[in-house]
């Protein structure tokens, strides 16, 4: 996490910005600015922020090339909106909480909501297949949120993603999660967040993994690993169910029934429970993740179990009495 830059440095950066924007800016001043820039990494960081803010305008500059468009933008930015923010809070406050929003909360909201761009999400039980213009495909599993900060950088905030880059990419693709950073130029791999760890499963190609503690490993096709921010597990053989979901299938290969239920649970609202007797079984087979009745029927075909509704919105899988 970047440490905050102190206000004095921000002021200096703003001062240099004003100086350099001036067409009467001299070479001597430019050299002084260069010197200032190289004095401290925070100076550089502050200058990056200046560039970003300037960049917001530059992008608008390109989008609105005609004067009338610029004028319209200026008018939009200069006009007081009919519904001002305080009124909005009034309305919404009454609608939501009966007007009980403290000043501090208002400030938080006010500052916190520059809209983030480039995020994607999936709801419960939904898998989404997307194609990136940068030359790779990706799938999002149920209840996943990602943020794509650039063409080759994806932040996995929640859930599970599978990447397919069959041809070498122009540059390495970086995937970051709370715990680890991954990079790959050509691979098919999935990364899943679960509790405080992630599971990286590589189907094709190679993927570099680096965790927060600086431990790293290169994973090859047919391998998977469990990693936390500070530990790396043993490299294991790739399990099919780590990627079969992209086809909407749970591939169980000698999977304990409780784990089967946990996996199916990810896609469904109904609470899936396993009786103590039934939990001794292991499951083999391919099950449709989005069709629970069908999956349960298939389960009854391969194991001596049956399912019944249980309580409010629940399903109990129990052994069939002989």
In the range 97-136, which residues lie near other proteins by CB under 8 A?
97, 101, 105, 109-117, 119, 121, 123-124
User: Distance (Å, rounded) from C-alpha 207 to C-alpha 161?
Assistant: 14
What b-and-e string marks burial along 160-177, b requiring 16 or more CB atoms within 10 Å of the CB?
bbbbbbeeebeeebbbbb
Residue 5 in contact with other proteins, rule: CB under 8 A: yes
SS3 track for 113-161: CCCCCCEEECCCCCCEEEECCCCCEEEECCCCEEEEEECCEEEEEECEE
Nearer of residues 156 and 249 to other proteins, judged by Cβ: 156
Contact residues for 170 (Cβ-Cβ < 8 A; gap 6+)? 134, 135, 152
Task: Name residues contacting other proteins, limited to 218-247 (CB under 8 A).
Answer: 229
Residue 65 in contact with other proteins, rule: CB under 8 A: no
Task: Name residues contacting other proteins, limited to 287-316 (CB under 8 A).
Answer: none
Sort strands 305-309 and 314-319 into parallel, antiparallel or unpaired.
antiparallel
Q: How far is the CB of 284 from other proteins (least distance, A)?
A: 27
Nearer of residues 44 and 253 to other proteins, judged by Cβ: 44
User: Distance (Å, rounded) from C-alpha 237 to C-alpha 222?
Assistant: 6
Residue 60 in contact with other proteins, rule: CB under 8 A: yes
Nearer of residues 83 and 130 to other proteins, judged by Cβ: 83
Task: Kindly indicate which of the ranges 31-39, 67-75, 250-258, 310-318 contains the residues binding other proteins, using the contact rule CB under 8 A.
Answer: 67-75
Residue 63 in contact with other proteins, rule: CB under 8 A: yes
Q: What phi and psi values does residue 117 have, to the nearest 5 degrees?
A: -105, 160
User: Distance (Å, rounded) from C-alpha 230 to C-alpha 227?
Assistant: 8
Nearer of residues 123 and 301 to other proteins, judged by Cβ: 123
CA of residue 74 relative to chain centroid, distance: 35
Task: Kindly indicate which of the ranges 54-62, 244-252, 284-292, 312-320 contains the residues binding other proteins, using the contact rule CB under 8 A.
Answer: 54-62
- Residue pointed to by tokens 């070498």: 168
Residue 25 in contact with other proteins, rule: CB under 8 A: no
Nearer of residues 116 and 321 to other proteins, judged by Cβ: 116
Q: How far is the CB of 101 from other proteins (least distance, A)?
A: 7
Q: How many residues does the chain have?
A: 322
User: Distance (Å, rounded) from C-alpha 214 to C-alpha 196?
Assistant: 17
Residue 41 in contact with other proteins, rule: CB under 8 A: no
Task: Name residues contacting other proteins, limited to 129-188 (CB under 8 A).
Answer: 143, 145, 147, 157-159, 178
Pick from 28, 41, 68, 254: which binds other proteins (CB under 8 A)?
Answer: 68
Nearer of residues 39 and 87 to other proteins, judged by Cβ: 87
Task: Name residues contacting other proteins, limited to 81-100 (CB under 8 A).
Answer: 81-83, 85, 88-89, 92, 95-97
Q: How far is the CB of 121 from other proteins (least distance, A)?
A: 4
The DSSP string of 13-33 is HHHHHHHHHSTT--HHHHHHH
């Amino acid at each position: 996490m970047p440490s905050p830059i102190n206000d004095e440095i921000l002021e200096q950066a703003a001062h240099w910005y004003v100086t350099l924007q001036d067409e009467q800016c001299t070479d001597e001043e430019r050299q002084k600015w260069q010197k200032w820039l190289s004095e401290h990494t925070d100076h550089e960081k502050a200058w990056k922020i200046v560039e970003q803010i300037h960049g917001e305008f530059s992008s608008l500059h390109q989008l609105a090339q005609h004067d009338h468009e610029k004028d319209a933008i200026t008018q939009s930015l200069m006009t007081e909106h009919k519904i001002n923010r305080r009124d909005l809070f009034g309305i919404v406050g009454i609608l939501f909480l009966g007007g009980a929003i403290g000043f501090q909360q208002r400030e938080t909201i006010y500052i916190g909501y520059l809209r983030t761009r480039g995020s994607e999400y999936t709801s419960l039980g939904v898998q989404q297949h997307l194609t990136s213009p940068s030359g790779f495909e990706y799938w999002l599993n149920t209840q996943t949120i990602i943020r794509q900060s650039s063409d080759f950088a994806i932040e996995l905030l929640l859930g599970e993603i599978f990447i397919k880059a069959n041809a070498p990419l122009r540059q390495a693709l970086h995937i970051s999660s709370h715990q680890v950073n991954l990079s790959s130029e050509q691979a098919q791999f999935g990364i899943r967040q679960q509790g405080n760890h992630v599971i990286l499963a590589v189907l094709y190609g190679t993927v570099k993994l680096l965790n927060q503690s600086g431990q790293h490993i290169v994973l090859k096709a047919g391998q998977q690993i469990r990693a936390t921010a500070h530990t790396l597990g043993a490299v294991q053989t790739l399990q099919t169910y780590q990627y079969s979901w992209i086809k909407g299938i749970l591939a169980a290969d000698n999977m304990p029934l409780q784990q089967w239920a946990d996996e199916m649970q990810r896609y469904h609202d109904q609470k899936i429970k396993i009786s103590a007797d039934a939990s001794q079984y292991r499951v083999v087979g391919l099950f449709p993740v989005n069709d629970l009745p069908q999956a349960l029927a298939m389960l009854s075909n391969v194991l001596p179990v049956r399912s019944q509704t249980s309580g409010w919105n629940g399903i109990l899988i129990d052994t069939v009495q002989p």
